[in-house]
Chain A
Amino acid sequence: MRTNKNFILRGIADEYMLVPINEAAQEFNGILHLTETASFIWKMVDQCETITDIVKKSYRRI
Chain B
Amino acid sequence: MINILYIKIGPVCIKINSQYPLTIDPRYQHFFIDDISEENDIIDCDVKVTDDFSVVQGNLIYQNGERMIFDYQGKETRIHFFNQNPYGIYREIDDNHFSIEVTSNIINILFLEMFALEKYLLKKGGLILHSSFIEWHNQGIVFTAPSGTGKSTQASLWQKYEHAKIINSDRSILYFNKNNILMSCGLPFCGSSNINLNKEFPLKAIVFLSQADYNEAEYINISFASKKLFKESSINKWNIKSIDDSLNIIEKITKHTKFISLKCMINQEAVNILKDLIIK
A residues bordering B, Cβ < 8 Å?
8, 10, 12-13, 15, 17, 19-22, 25-26, 29-31, 33
> Is B247 touching A19 in the complex (CB atoms < 8 A)?
yes
B213 to chain A, nearest CB (A): 26
A30: contacting residue among B62, B230, B240, CB under 8 A: B230
Inter-chain contacts of A31 with B (CB < 8 A): 226-227, 230-231
Inter-chain contacts of A22 with B (CB < 8 A): 238
- 26 CB-based A-B contacts, threshold 8 Å: A8-B240, A8-B243, A10-B244, A12-B222, A12-B226, A12-B247, A12-B254, A13-B222, A13-B223, A13-B226, A13-B251, A13-B254, A15-B222, A15-B223, A17-B227, A17-B247, A19-B230, A19-B243, A19-B247, A21-B240, A21-B243, A26-B237, A30-B230, A31-B231, A33-B223, A33-B227
Inter-chain contacts of B14 with A (CB < 8 A): none
Interface residue ranges of B92-147 to A (CB < 8 Å): none
CB closest chain-A residue, reference B221? A15
> Is A25 touching B230 in the complex (CB atoms < 8 A)?
no
CB closest chain-A residue, reference B244? A10
B143 to chain A, nearest CB (A): 19
- Bound form: Cα–Cα A12–B230 in Å: 11
- Bound form: Cα–Cα A31–B231 in Å: 7
> Is A17 touching B226 in the complex (CB atoms < 8 A)?
yes
Inter-chain contacts of B79 with A (CB < 8 A): none
